[in-house]
Structure 1
């Protein structure tokens, strides 16, 4: 039996040689792009899939929920496994599983078959999302880390926002299975690049905690199910049971992993003020994004009378400004404090959401576009600096846990935002979208204060 190889320090000055770094980044960006696209496109295609498979709309929701559930539930256990067996192995296995499951989705003949394939696809996506930022930290020189995470944030954000309009275009000329089949060439290319270019990130000495992984899976599955039931206006007793169960199993998880050198739920990292504030700012930012992305289609289609196709393309200004701003923000974060840059970005996001909430009753396309552009610019200016702060405030040996925490904050934030939209619709009836957007603006403003608070904290040397 071979002994674990030592964990290399990914914070060294040189990173990987430029040519290999480019190939490794291409593999990482292709993998994260696929995972984010499939998070977004399924919502757009549900009516088409439901009609083709002969199922009702309520049952079709599981096509989305199964994927989200698998991603959130596996992020932390798979990240912990990556610190033990090597993050490059977890990433490569995730790409392979995601690609194979995409083929299974394209060939699915019934709802149960499609849900099973989406679960496998979500596990693969969870593996990719759990370690991608850790790999970026490993392969990128310390003085260019902001640029690396800026590229990562750029690809993730653009693919997430571009998913609905891209799906709408594909469905104009091709049946829905092609949405999954088109993943195959990209996934295979990413797999070849990953096998050839990703370096060995080393292995930690501690063993994998199987019971802790089970507790983590149960905790986050129940949490996501409970939040999803709220978003879909499920019965109160079920919401309470699922959220209460998540709390009980979460406490059991914390008790089991107390004193563990690398706990699966990385509470050790949350004792670091910079990391904790960065994680809190991320969670709040994605709550605001979730409030926006779920409520805006209702605003466009129901309040403003736009078609589903038009509603998808109305999000383009958000996409374009994220694409323009995220790489720039990543470069700036290598020179200026992430707390300041993130605070400015979140304030811009909050103002943009507030302005969308105050749209006139008959706005022009320009009225909508510049407000969405303000939101995208603010979000793009926040995300890359915050990711850099999250990764650099964690010790090198805990890069996997930090990467998974960033992805968990994003997914739980978006799920919470969706649940809050349902509450806003119940409270405000026809004004639900405006209330949700206004609440998103308030949450983003609060997150801005959290981000700026990091300026008063010195980096933790531990």
Structure 2
């Protein structure tokens, strides 16, 4: 049930991209404006993650998780019923808030439901679910749109959400810890992510305005940290970040996901513009990465129960870096053999990194702080992906299209190498958990 909910929210983040032209035609909207159907969802997830992690600790992870599923399901119905683009964007934002609650509290619910000795294996399936959802999103959307309107992309969430809610009684019931959330902290947290998201959207086209907004987001973060100074369980989990293992895993996650997003955006341009492939063939050539991740993720989960995660994460990020550098630097050939070898290595390395790194983020936190740990895990992933998207925008703005994808893949490889070195720094003090 928990994995199904994760599949639902990741899949929903991936399918909307394909439907944007259909949405624009159906609602009479400008294509550029429809991007907010995707961006509004991503922004809401970022806004919701940390507060929902805290709410899960206060009111219990089961209760807040199921409220998130309810909100996500109702908002999906509103998306399907939306008759204008503003209404659709608003419904998608609410849907993203529900998705943020789900993503923040899946890990906490798993930790209370699964024996610790099985946690590595379960987190492997968790990573595999995310990889399958992300890879299947465009195909699922294409299949639905070939036989039905875009509204059905959201209508299919309703029976799945109802199924998850019906199974909610099987989740462990756990009482929360009484504490108060400061309204000013929640407001500053929300404004921080809105300013940051708007800033990174503008930074490639309007560098000065974008930089000002990002700087203002930094000031909001400073305000949050000041307001929560001395708080034993802050929304921004400085108590968890004080632990070297947790801090290193979070930094490595940001670096690794920045590299992943850079590569994911660059690969279609490389295949279609540099190698001259059709979109259909390019799609086939991109499949080895998620397939390799799907195969490696559960293997990594089992290994994480027996081997130091620092070595696994460093090896995985190193393979990711090597694969990206091979794909980006190898001379092109008609069958793109070097590219395929590189992406298979990258996908396997990504799967080997992600599962043990998530395990560290979860197990480094005390059980009562599992909500904050799960929220930080999601925040690190989304922040890394956002930084990757920013970097790709800047590369496209500064480099010719003929070389921009190669530059991006090399930079992605460097980012993955940083994740490997950061992970390796944890080896000296880590013990197998």
| TM-score, L = length of structure 1 | 0.90
Unaligned runs of 5+ in 1: 1-26
Task: Identify the residue that residue 147 of structure 1 maps to in structure 2.
Answer: 121
> What displacement does 1:366 show?
4.7
> What displacement does 1:460 show?
13
Cα pair distance change 1:442/1:205, threshold 3 Å: same
Task: Identify the residue that residue 53 of structure 1 maps to in structure 2.
Answer: 27
Task: Identify the residue that residue 242 of structure 1 maps to in structure 2.
Answer: 213
Q: Deviations over 1:323-360 (max 9, x none)?
A: 11101100110111111111111111111111121254
Task: Identify the residue that residue 453 of structure 1 maps to in structure 2.
Answer: 425
> Distance in 2 between the 1:388 and 1:366 partners?
34
Matching of residues 6-85 of structure 1 within 5 Å: 27-85=1-59
Is contact 2:192-2:217 (8 Å) kept?
yes
> Distance in 1 between the 2:430 and 2:340 partners?
40
Task: Identify the residue that residue 303 of structure 1 maps to in structure 2.
Answer: 274
Q: Deviations over 1:294-314 (max 9, x none)?
A: 112222233333344444443
What is the aligned-residue RMSD (CA, Å)?
Answer: 1.8
> Distance in 1 between the 2:229 and 2:378 partners?
23
Task: Identify the residue that residue 351 of structure 1 maps to in structure 2.
Answer: 322
Q: Deviations over 1:416-459 (max 9, x none)?
A: 10010011112221211111111000110111011111111247
Task: Identify the residue that residue 272 of structure 1 maps to in structure 2.
Answer: 243
Is contact 1:393-1:459 (8 Å) kept?
no
> Distance in 2 between the 1:51 and 1:304 partners?
32
Task: Identify the residue that residue 380 of structure 1 maps to in structure 2.
Answer: 351
Unaligned runs of 5+ in 2: none
> What displacement does 1:321 show?
1.2
Q: 1:247 is paired with a residue of what secondary structure?
A: helix
Is contact 2:252-2:422 (8 Å) kept?
yes
Cα pair distance change 1:189/1:352, threshold 3 Å: same
415-424 or 307-316, larger mean C-alpha shift: 307-316
Task: Identify the residue that residue 113 of structure 1 maps to in structure 2.
Answer: 87
> Distance in 1 between the 2:343 and 2:39 partners?
27
40-49 or 346-355, larger mean C-alpha shift: 40-49
> Distance in 2 between the 1:427 and 1:234 partners?
11
Q: 2:194 is paired with a residue of what secondary structure?
A: helix
> Distance in 2 between the 1:145 and 1:418 partners?
32
2:382 is aligned with 1:438: no
Task: Identify the residue that residue 200 of structure 2 maps to in structure 1.
Answer: 227
Task: Identify the residue that residue 252 of structure 2 maps to in structure 1.
Answer: 281
Q: 2:230 is paired with a residue of what secondary structure?
A: coil
Is contact 1:165-1:312 (8 Å) kept?
no
Is contact 1:76-1:401 (8 Å) kept?
yes
Cα pair distance change 1:353/1:379, threshold 3 Å: same
2:161 is aligned with 1:187: yes
Task: Identify the residue that residue 428 of structure 1 maps to in structure 2.
Answer: 399
> Distance in 2 between the 1:396 and 1:448 partners?
27
Is contact 2:297-2:352 (8 Å) kept?
yes
Is contact 1:162-1:316 (8 Å) kept?
no
> Distance in 1 between the 2:334 and 2:68 partners?
44
> Distance in 1 between the 2:139 and 2:280 partners?
7
Task: Identify the residue that residue 373 of structure 2 maps to in structure 1.
Answer: 402
Counterpart selection for 1:213 from 179, 186, 199: 186
436-445 or 234-243, larger mean C-alpha shift: 234-243
Q: Count how many residue pairs are aligned between Structure 1 and Structure 2.
A: 432
Is contact 2:49-2:375 (8 Å) kept?
yes
> Distance in 2 between the 1:300 and 1:400 partners?
40
Q: Deviations over 1:256-290 (max 9, x none)?
A: 00000100001111110000001111111100111
Is contact 1:161-1:315 (8 Å) kept?
no
> What displacement does 1:34 show?
0.8
| TM-score, L = length of structure 2 | 0.96
Q: 2:399 is paired with a residue of what secondary structure?
A: helix
Q: Deviations over 1:181-228 (max 9, x none)?
A: 22222221112112x211112211212222211111111221122122
92-101 or 403-412, larger mean C-alpha shift: 92-101
2:133 is aligned with 1:159: yes
202-211 or 447-456, larger mean C-alpha shift: 202-211
